[in-house]
Chains A and B, each alone.
Chain A
């Protein structure tokens, strides 16, 4: 149980285009999902907290108009990187909390999406 999927697993796009990444909780409901960014050999940096039915909460320094987050259902959150540039190239990982679990702290991670902007 507690499986989180991400799609696509990897994407290559041209500079200036937008890229949408999906994060799904497959066997549980998640009112809260998180989006992280990870550079090579670095730690995971929280970008934003995605809340079902409400606006996402962005971390300091993360441009909300650049990284659009939509959490329209209890099992799906999307991250859209708008007008992508080479510096946006990174490994993007989502995680989800199981709303029905007694352990509200545990986060289950998706497999990540590797974005390369040319």
Chain B
């Protein structure tokens, strides 16, 4: 089955700086890669996604890049704000979602 690795597990960034989270996947057939933000005790919320026929996607301060050849994809958050602090999960899917291990992002005011 699919295996998704995510790094780093924790990340602290000064407010206003950029944050980058990286994931790798194992199944080359996976074709959809969403990113979720989860606050403590809350549901995961989809923040951005990318499909395998696209290399990059941007939505305001958030961007995702996908390298199908290398089987890795990354989340980029620019101009970070305190409310960006949360746990972020990447995922890869063919028919079902396989989640990465999560990254706890802390924005330092």
Q: A residues touching B (Cβ–Cβ < 8 Å)? A: 34, 41-46, 49, 91, 93, 95, 105-112, 114
Contact (Cβ within 8 A) A93 B44: yes
Closest to B89 in A: A43
- In the assembled complex, 28 residue pairs joining A and B whose CB atoms fall closer than 8 Å, in A order, are A34-B96, A41-B102, A42-B101, A43-B99, A43-B101, A44-B44, A44-B89, A44-B99, A45-B99, A46-B96, A46-B98, A49-B96, A91-B41, A95-B97, A105-B34, A105-B49, A105-B93, A106-B34, A106-B46, A107-B34, A107-B46, A108-B46, A109-B36, A109-B43, A109-B44, A112-B41, A112-B42, A114-B41
Closest to A49 in B: B96
**What number of residue pairs across chains A and B have CB atoms under 8 A from each other?**
47
Q: Interface size on B (CB < 8 Å)?
A: 21
Bound-state CA distance A32–B35 (Å) is 20
Q: Tell me the B54-107 residues at the A interface (CB within 8 Å).
A: 89, 93, 96-102
Contact (Cβ within 8 A) A34 B97: yes
**Residues of chain B within 8 A of A106, CB atoms compared:** 34, 46, 49
Contact (Cβ within 8 A) B42 A107: no
Contact (Cβ within 8 A) A93 B97: no
Contact (Cβ within 8 A) B102 A42: yes
Cβ distance B52 to chain A, nearest Cβ, rounded Å: 11
Bound-state CA distance A49–B93 (Å) is 13
**Residues of chain A within 8 A of B99, CB atoms compared:** 43-45
Contact (Cβ within 8 A) B42 A111: yes
Bound-state CA distance A111–B45 (Å) is 10
Cβ distance A52 to chain B, nearest Cβ, rounded Å: 16
Given contacts A107-B97, A111-B43, A112-B43, A43 and B49 within 8 Å (CB-CB): no
Contact (Cβ within 8 A) B44 A105: no
